[in-house]
Amino acid sequence: MDSKYTFALRKIALLGGIEDYVVLSSRELGDALEMSQQSASKRILELLDEKLIIRDLGARKQRIKLTQKGIEELKQEYGEYRRIFEISDQITLHGAIADGMGEGRYYVCQMGYMAQFEEKLGFRPYEGTLNVVVDREDVSKLDIIRSAPGEAITGFTQDGRSFGGAIAHKSKIRNIECAIIIPERSHYDNVIEIVCQYHLRRTLSIGNGDRLEIKVKV
């Protein structure tokens, strides 16, 4: 995305435009962006065209708010800056073990996935996943992980059923090699699924509620 749009979104967000509408005239935005009122008015129209903001003109004063697309653009920039200044080659996540939806075993056992895991991760996963609820303060790190390349697991069709793709990120738990699996379509923003060649609950003697530290390669 054009950096001039990101800069404008950042200024609007700093005024509170993520949580709610903010009253913001073209002159005020121009002052924040160090440009003329006319240029600021044009920038607002550009942001509207790109569907990065929405505007309410019903109360005589202009009210602006970032769209979800605009928020995602800022999150991407945030992740890139964190990778530059804070992160070397790994991210550490903290969280607690929880029960999953019971689907991990079914999906991991599909040969279309299993063969790719062996090839790209270097191990054949145990038939199931370990689910971890990530601590609130670490949830923002998941956006950085999602923006990292990882190992692409390609979707496929089997017996008339479609299986979606995912990205696998090599990881370690207590020096045991494993991987976080990020599906293309996920039900949760704060839950990660982990595959490993070992049955992690038995190998590490852990259970629901126990806390883990996961080091993720990026």
Euclidean distance between CA atoms 103 and 110, whole angstroms: 11
The pTM (predicted TM-score) of the whole model is 0.63
Cβ atoms of 213 and 93 closer than 8 Å? yes
pLDDT for 48 beyond 90 = yes
Euclidean distance between CA atoms 92 and 107, whole angstroms: 26
pLDDT for 75 beyond 70 = yes
Question: Tell me: the pLDDT tens digits for 131-150?
Answer: 999 999 999 888 888 888 89
Choice among 25-29, 61-65, 80-84, 140-144 with the minimum mean pLDDT? 80-84
When pLDDT is cut at 50, 70 and 90, the band that residue 174 belongs to is very high
Question: Tell me: the pLDDT tens digits for 81-119?
Answer: 776 766 567 899 999 999 876 666 777 888 889 999 999
Cβ atoms of 43 and 66 closer than 8 Å? no
